[in-house]
Structure formats: C-alpha cells, structure tokens
C-alpha cells in the first residue's frame, strides 16, 4: 500500500513538472514570436492608454493620450510612466459649445515641437458622429516644475459639421512639408483621411475645405479608416493609418497599414503600388494570439532608432488597451515590426 502511494505521488510530481516545463516552453515560444527579427521590446506594457503619442524634452519622455482633459504621462526610460496633470483641468468652453454632448473626454492628441513651443492638437467629438473639432494648445516647456510651464489654449483649428462636411475633424497629426511649412492630417471614417495646410503659426487652417487633399480612403460605405500619422524617413513621407474597428476590447479588429510618397501632398502608394486614396495600404501590425486589434499609432525617433508607438487590446487582461513600443526595422524602404502578436 505504501509503495502504491509513493508511486502515485511520484507520478503527480512528474506530471506537475512536465506541465510547468510545457508552460515555460509556451511562454518562451511566445516571446520568440513577438521578438523575432525586431530586437528586444522596450516596454513592459503595463500602462493602460488609448491613442498614445510621444516626445522627449531633455532627459524626460512625455506621452499624451486620450483622456479627461488630455492625459499626460512622463518617464525617464519609456518603461515606467508617471501620470502628470492633464492639459486641461476643465473642458474648454468653446468645445462645449461646438459639440453639445462633449463633457471633457478629449480624444487622440498629437504633440509637436514647432517654432520654440510645444503644440498639442486634440479632438472633441461625439462617438459615431462627425460633430467634431480639432483644437490646439501651446506651452514653452513640458516640464511641470518649470516656471515657464503652462498651457495656452488657442481654440478650434477646424470643425466638421454633419450634412456639410464629408470628413471628420478628429485624429490630428502635425507635419512639415519639404520647405518647412506646417500641415495637419486628420480624419476618421466618413470621406477618409485629409490633409490641410496650416497658417504659418500652426494655429489655424489656411484656405478652405475644398482645398483639402484626400490622403487615404477604404472606398467602402462604412469606410473604417482613421488616425493618420505622417513620418519622414530618408527621402520619403510615410502615411500610417489604422484600418477597421477600435474600442471593442477583445473584439477589436484594429490594424496598422502604411503607404509612402516623395511629396507630402501625395499620392501615397503601398508596397504593391496601390494608391491609398483608392483603398491601398501595406500591413504593418495586426492582432494575433495575445492581442486583439492594435493601432492608432505614432512613430518616433530616439537615439538613432525609430519606434512604432500604439495601443493594443490585451486578450489576457480583459481586452483592455495597453501601451506598446516596438523598434522599427526598415527593409527595402518599408517599415517592419511584428505583423501579428
């Protein structure tokens, strides 16, 4: 009887060891799949964010995301993030008037350094409607401990109106053209992603809506495309965009695509030569075993390396959106990160 019990215990112990080994092997394989050809990921992905953009001032990284008053985080290493005060303690009065059901939850900011100041472009909207506007605020520094710190709001840059505008004034991205003149790309669903020329100070649109350039569209009735981000690499402008659907947790189908052009005004084409304003787009990143939809990206350059910054809905953590930062490898003139993970 003692021998039988001992044998049973031995079998159980061996079974537990084999199970643990299998779990370790599976985790190692997952890490290998995520990091294959990419170098080591720079992030522990413990920060819940939506629509992240990033910039560095001095030795400190600052991240701006969707949130009440525009959420702001700081970090010394891009791994551990400290929440700072939002850009706005109270919702801008003009935004409350422009979007009647807006209550202060501001979407999809972009951050840029231009003419000696930091500019944050931000979106106010009603979900599922193009009753929307893009505003802008500036500050001389992002350091909240500096005596020069302080955001000045300049109000609306552009508005979209249902029944009038065939585009949606959200998801702004600031970019300079070949001669250093500022432009704003923006758009979500409706007619697609647009490019508008800004006045020299970056605070207002120059020209009229009929002067806008269509950068990209899916060309379908629902037209699920949004979040343009333009990044210049070598002699090319790269237009990153998010396809399909965000904001559905584990059911999200977001993915990142890209096209390129030698001119900011386009036409942007994908790796197969298909124009993005006719539905083209080369896949950069999509959901996989661990994450559902991934997207609303930014691209940043730090210390000789370009990074794709985005949020991804984690299937192992209730489908919540977590920050991801992946190094970009350029192959034959195209950005490469893990396409699924």
Give catalytic residues, as residue numbers.
51, 226
d(CA 56, CA 78): 10
User: Any bridge partners for residue 63, and if so which?
Assistant: 54, 73
In sequence order, the 6+-apart residues with CB closer than 8 A to the CB of 88 are: 69, 70, 104, 106, 137, 151, 153
Which tokens is 119 given?
Answer: 């500019």
Up-side HSE of residue 339: CA atoms within 13 Å toward CB?
8
d(CA 193, CA 174): 13
d(CA 296, CA 173): 11
> How many other CB atoms sit within 10 Å of the CB of residue 130?
23
Query: Which helix H or strand E contains 130, and what residues bound it?
Result: none
d(CA 7, CA 26): 28
CA nearest neighbour of 313 among 323, 327, 303, 326: 323
Asked if 238 and 230 touch (Cβ cutoff 8 Å), the reply is: yes
CA nearest neighbour of 150 among 140, 160, 163, 158: 140
d(CA 179, CA 245): 35
């Amino acid at each position: 009887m003692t021998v039988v019990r001992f044998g049973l215990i031995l079998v159980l112990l061996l079974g537990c060891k084999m199970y643990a080994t299998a779990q370790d092997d599976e985790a190692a394989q997952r890490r290998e799949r995520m990091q294959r050809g990419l170098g080591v990921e720079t992030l522990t992905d413990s920060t819940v964010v939506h629509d992240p953009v990033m910039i560095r001032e001095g030795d400190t990284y600052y991240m701006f995301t969707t949130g009440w008053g525009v959420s702001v985080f700081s970090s010394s290493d891009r791994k551990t993030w400290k929440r700072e005060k939002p850009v706005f303690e109270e919702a801008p009065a003009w935004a409350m008037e422009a979007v009647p059901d807006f209550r202060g939850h501001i979407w999809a900011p972009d951050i840029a350094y231009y003419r000696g100041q930091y500019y944050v472009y931000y979106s106010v909207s009603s979900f599922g409607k193009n009753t929307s506007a893009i505003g802008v605020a500036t500050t001389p520094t992002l350091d909240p401990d500096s005596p020069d710190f302080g955001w000045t709001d300049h109000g609306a840059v552009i508005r979209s109106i249902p029944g009038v505008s065939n585009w949606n004034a959200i998801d702004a991205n600031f970019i300079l053209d070949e001669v250093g003149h500022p432009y704003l790309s923006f758009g979500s669903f409706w007619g697609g992603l647009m490019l508008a020329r800004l006045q020299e100070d970056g605070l207002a649109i120059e020209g009229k809506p009929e002067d806008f350039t269509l950068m990209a569209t899916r060309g379908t009735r629902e037209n699920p495309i949004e979040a343009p981000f333009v990044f210049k690499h070598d002699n090319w402008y790269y237009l990153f965009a998010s396809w399909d659907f965000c904001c559905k947790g584990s059911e999200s189908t977001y993915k990142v695509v890209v096209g390129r052009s030698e001119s900011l005004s386009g036409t942007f084409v994908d790796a197969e030569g298909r124009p993005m304003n006719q539905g083209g787009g080369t896949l950069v990143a999509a959901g996989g075993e661990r994450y559902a939809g991934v997207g609303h990206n930014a691209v940043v350059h730090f210390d000789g390396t370009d990074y794709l910054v985005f949020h991804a809905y984690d299937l192992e953590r209730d489908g919540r959106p977590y920050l991801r930062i992946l190094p970009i490898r350029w192959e034959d003139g195209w950005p490469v990160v893990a396409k699924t993970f």
